[in-house]
């Protein structure tokens, strides 16, 4: 099989048929066409244009269901499974064929391989044996499709998909097609290639990409005592309480039910995370952006 006839949108001539298939000839090669795709019957000798591939039964097939992912055409495909020593299989929209992204293109650590449901931006390549492979988009492709940040995103929740895993951090593409960077210090665990993560924006860089974090927000990891103080502040109309680290231990115990030592530790954490302010014997809840 000529590799130039594979993974292409080509025109051929119907030369034969049986109960299930038409047979389309292109440059001396015969491709089967599933009759289930065709609403109005064809006549022998008619022309047909479709996408060519080798199906799971290793038969040459042509289809009207032309995938978005083709040679030099990048789009997201969904991972359906992985196979040790081979790579991961990606659904690109063909009726009976998934394409493989080779193990050579995947992370060396297998736990970072894409899993079922993850998505990869790929195009198609064909090797010298006419086998179709998925080819991962490189940095240049992502930079080409990315959109510059035109609005204030600081502290906003976003979703982003990992496309490059490096020791320095993870590069991702957000749902709004912004480039994002996740530093190792801003994550609890490293995302898989193709995994979608929920994160928040913690900064915007000069190149119009964004820094993100998947760590819990400060108030989610400050401890029960600090959460209680925040809740108490939030339930007041003024968002303020007449307490400070100078308050009497018995007053703290009576109001919050904790020791002065525990109160001061919680207060210190809240001040460090910039969630409250302390002035003139009062603590005040700071307004947080969504």
* 148/209 Cα distance (integer angstroms): 7
What would the mean pLDDT of 20-28 be, rounded to a whole number?
96
Q: How many CB atoms lie within 10 A of CB 261?
A: 10
**pLDDT of the residue at 149:** 86
Structural domains present in the chain: 3-63 (2.40.50.330), 75-137 (2.40.50.140), 148-213 (2.40.50.140), 219-285 (1.10.10.10)
**Alpha-carbon distance 156 to 152, whole Å?**
9
Q: pLDDT tens digits, residue range 265-284?
A: 999 989 988 889 999 999 99
Q: Cα(first)–Cα(last) distance of the chain, in Å?
A: 58
pLDDT at residue 290 in the model:
42
In this structure, of 52-66, 154-168, 198-212, the range with the lowest mean pLDDT score is 198-212
Coil/strand/helix, residue 148: coil
Residues 61 and 53 sit within 8 Å (Cβ to Cβ):
yes
CB 248 within 8 A of CB 259: no
pLDDT tens for 41-65 read 999 999 999 999 999 999 999 999 9
pLDDT reported for residue 220: 58
Instruction: Dump pLDDT digits (tens) for 224-262.
Output: 888 889 888 988 899 999 999 999 999 999 998 899 999
pLDDT over 70 at 147, yes or no: yes
Render pLDDT for 93-142 as a digit per residue (tens, 0 to 9): 998 999 999 999 999 999 999 999 999 999 999 999 999 999 999 999 99
> Among candidates 3, 218, 241, 7, which has minimal Cα distance to 127?
3
What is the model's pTM? 0.75
DSSP designation for 70: B
Do β-strands 9-17 and 47-54 pair in parallel, antiparallel, or remain unpaired?
A: antiparallel
């Amino acid at each position: 099989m000529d590799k130039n006839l594979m993974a292409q949108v080509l025109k051929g001539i119907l030369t034969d048929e049986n109960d299930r298939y038409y047979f389309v000839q292109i440059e001396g090669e015969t491709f089967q066409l599933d009759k289930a795709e065709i609403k109005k019957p064809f006549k022998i000798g008619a022309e047909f244009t479709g996408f060519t591939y080798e199906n799971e039964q290793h038969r040459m097939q042509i289809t009207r269901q032309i995938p978005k992912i083709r040679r030099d055409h990048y789009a997201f495909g969904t991972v359906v499974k992985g196979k040790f020593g081979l790579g991961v299989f990606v659904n690109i929209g063909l009726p009976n064929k998934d394409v493989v992204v080779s193990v050579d293109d995947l992370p060396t650590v297998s736990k970072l391989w894409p899993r079922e449901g993850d998505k990869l931006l790929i195009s198609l390549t064909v090797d010298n044996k006419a086998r179709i492979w998925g080819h991962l988009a490189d940095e240049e492709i992502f930079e080409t499709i990315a959109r510059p940040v035109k609005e204030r995103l600081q502290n906003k929740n976003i979703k982003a998909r990992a496309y490059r895993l490096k020791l320095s951090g993870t590069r991702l593409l957000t749902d709004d097609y912004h480039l994002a960077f996740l530093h190792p210090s801003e994550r609890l665990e490293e995302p898989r290639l193709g995994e979608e993560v929920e994160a928040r924006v913690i900064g915007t860089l000069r190149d119009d990409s964004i820094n993100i974090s998947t760590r819990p927000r400060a108030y989610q990891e400050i401890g029960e005592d600090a959460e209680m103080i925040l809740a108490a502040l939030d339930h007041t109309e003024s968002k303020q309480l007449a307490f400070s680290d100078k308050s009497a231990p018995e007053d703290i115990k009576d109001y919050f039910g904790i020791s002065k030592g525990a109160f001061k530790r919680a207060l210190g954490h809240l001040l460090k995370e910039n969630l409250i302010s302390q002035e003139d014997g009062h603590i005040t809840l700071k307004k947080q952006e969504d």
